[in-house]
Amino acid sequence: MQRDTAVKPVQSCRISAPQRHPFGRSYRLVEWTLPDDEDARRQVVPAESSALDIARVVASHIPGRRVLQNGEA
């Protein structure tokens, strides 16, 4: 994955424990940050995703709408 020059380095990455969904399959929440951006990026992946599957999700992520928390400008 690192051979691709378009892939940005990841500063930190957290993967949640599998969460059971009341209707549908289990999932994990992946949250990561980049060195040049203070905002965290998040993506939901199936609970059975491998490390390589998660790395592909992180590498191919395109940021969408930004959600502001209370009081953020």
Give the up-direction half-sphere exposure of residue 73: CA atoms within 13 A in the CB hemisphere: 0
| Predicted local distance difference test score (pLDDT) of residue 1 | 47
DSSP 59: H
Residues in the chain predicted with pLDDT less than 70, given as ranges, are: 1-7, 64-67, 71-73
Give the up-direction half-sphere exposure of residue 16: CA atoms within 13 A in the CB hemisphere: 15
- C-alpha–C-alpha distance, residues 48 and 73, integer Å: 37
| Predicted local distance difference test score (pLDDT) of residue 4 | 52
